[in-house]
Amino acid sequence: MNCRSSTMHFVFIGFIMQSALMRSADTINCSQPTAESLLQALRESVFGKTEVRPVINPRTPTKIQLGFVLYAVLDVDEKAQILDTFIWLRFDWTIEGLSWDPVECGTDRITLPRKKLWRPDIVINEFISDNQAPKTYYLYLYNNGKAEDQLPVHVISSCNLDIYTFPFDIQNCTYTFSSYKHTIRDVQILFLEPVEATLKKSLKYMETKGEWQLTDMSARKSANSSYFNMDGLDRWDELVYNIVLKRRPTLYVVNLLIPSYCLITVDLCSFLLPPQKMDRSAFKMTLILGYTVFLLLMNDLLPVTGDTIPLISLLSLYIKSAGPKV
C-alpha cells in the first residue's frame, strides 16, 4: 500500500468521524419536556457559535428564504431622489444538523434572543439611512433546525424618480436584497413566496392612504453583481423587487390645474372687452394679481429635481409670459 493512498484513507476517515461528531453534538436531547431543559440543551450545542455559518461542511451554502410585506409608503422626495417606506421583513434559514424530539422536549419551537445565533447579514442595497424602526429581539427556532427571523425595517432608499408627467406620474423603485459580505458560494437567497403573494399582502395591510398608491410589484433573482471582486468570479446572490407606485393626483388637479385653466380662460376672454374702456385694464390688473398669487402657490406644489422639470411647468411659463400683457 503506498503512502499516498493511506493518507487519503486517513483524511477520509477523519472527515467522517468529524461530521459524525458534529451531527451527534447538534441532535439534542432534553432531560425533561420543559423549556428550561431545552434551553440547557441548546446552550450546550448551538449557543456561542454565532461566528460561524451553521453548516456541517463549510462548502455548503446556507439558503436564506426571504420575503416582506410593504406596510407603508411614507414619503417620496423628488429633490433628494428618496423613497421612504416601511416594511416587515422575514427571513428563514436552517441550522444544519440541529433537531430535537418535540415530545421529549415538550415543544416544537422556541423563541430565542436573536444574538444567540448566527444570522445572515441581509441588506437592501438601495438603503441610504439608518433603520429607525422599533428594535426587536427575538426569533423562532423550530425542532427541525429552521430559524425564522422577522423584523420591521424603515427603508429610506434611493430611487430614480421621474417627474416629467407630474402629477400623473408613476414611479418604479427597486429593492435589492442581498447578503452584504457573503457571496453566492456561502449564502444563497430564495423567494419565501411568489411576488404576487407579496403584492396581495402589501395591498391588504398597507395603512397609508396618502399621495402614493401601490399598483404593482415584480421580482427576479439575479446573481450578476460582483461589486468589489475585480476578477468577477465571486458573485452576490440577490433578489430584486420592483415596486410601482402611482401618485393620486386629486390634490394637484384641484389646487393647480383647475385654477390655472380658469385663469387662462378668463384671460383669453378679457380680449373680448373693448380695449378703449378703463374696465379692461382694471380687469387685467386684477388678473395679474391672481397670477402672482397662483405662481407662488405653484412653486410650493411643483416637485423639483436636478435636470428634469415637469411638463406642467410649461403652464407656469405660459402664465409668466402671458400675464403682464395688458
Ligand X SMILES: *[C@@H]1O[C@H](CO)[C@@H](O)[C@H](O)[C@H]1NC(C)=O
Query: 40, 21 in Cβ contact below 8 A?
Result: no
- Contacting range for ligand X; rule: CB under 6 A; set: 26-34, 86-94, 146-154, 285-293: 26-34
Report the residue count for the chain.
326
Calpha distance 146→141 (Å, rounded): 6
Query: Site for ligand X (CB under 6 A): which residue of 206, 244, 257, 297?
Result: 244
- Contacting range for ligand X; rule: CB under 6 A; set: 19-27, 58-66, 184-192, 200-208: 19-27
- Contacting range for ligand X; rule: CB under 6 A; set: 20-28, 58-66, 71-79, 84-92: 20-28
- Contacting range for ligand X; rule: CB under 6 A; set: 21-29, 57-65, 72-80, 307-315: 21-29
Nearer to ligand X, 21 or 253 (CB): 21
**How many positions of this chain bind ligand X (CB under 6 A)?**
10
Q: Closest Cα to residue 93, out of 127, 60, 71?
A: 60
**CA 317 centroid distance within chain:** 38
Minimum CB separation from ligand X for residue 2, in Å? 37
Query: Site for ligand X (CB under 6 A): which residue of 6, 7, 19, 24?
Result: 24
DSSP designation for 25? H
Between residue 186 and residue 225, which ones bind ligand X under the rule CB under 6 A?
A: 216, 218
Query: 182, 210 in Cβ contact below 8 A?
Result: no
Nearer to ligand X, 29 or 129 (CB): 29
- Contacting range for ligand X; rule: CB under 6 A; set: 22-30, 48-56, 158-166, 192-200: 22-30
Minimum CB separation from ligand X for residue 212, in Å? 14
Query: Site for ligand X (CB under 6 A): which residue of 6, 29, 31, 34?
Result: 29
Minimum CB separation from ligand X for residue 244, in Å? 4
Nearer to ligand X, 28 or 153 (CB): 28
* Sheet with 109-113: strands ordered across: 109-113, 138-142, 146-158, 82-94, 62-77, 187-191
Minimum CB separation from ligand X for residue 307, in Å? 20
- Contacting range for ligand X; rule: CB under 6 A; set: 25-33, 151-159, 261-269, 289-297: 25-33
Nearer to ligand X, 25 or 254 (CB): 25
Query: 99, 224 in Cβ contact below 8 A?
Result: no
Q: Where are the alpha helices (DSSP H) in 151-277?
A: 195-205, 250-252, 258-269
Give kind and range of the element (H or E) at residue 279: helix 278-301
Q: What is the DSSP string of 119-130?
A: ---EEETTB-S-
Minimum CB separation from ligand X for residue 26, in Å? 8
Minimum CB separation from ligand X for residue 44, in Å? 7
302 CB-near residues (< 8 Å, 6+ apart)? 166, 310, 312, 313, 316
Calpha distance 325→321 (Å, rounded): 8
Query: 319, 294 in Cβ contact below 8 A?
Result: yes
Query: Site for ligand X (CB under 6 A): which residue of 107, 242, 305, 313?
Result: 242
182 CB-near residues (< 8 Å, 6+ apart)? 53, 62, 120, 121
Nearer to ligand X, 47 or 283 (CB): 47
Between residue 155 and residue 174, which ones bind ligand X under the rule CB under 6 A?
A: 172
Residues that bind ligand X (CB under 6 A): 24-25, 27-29, 172, 216, 218, 242, 244
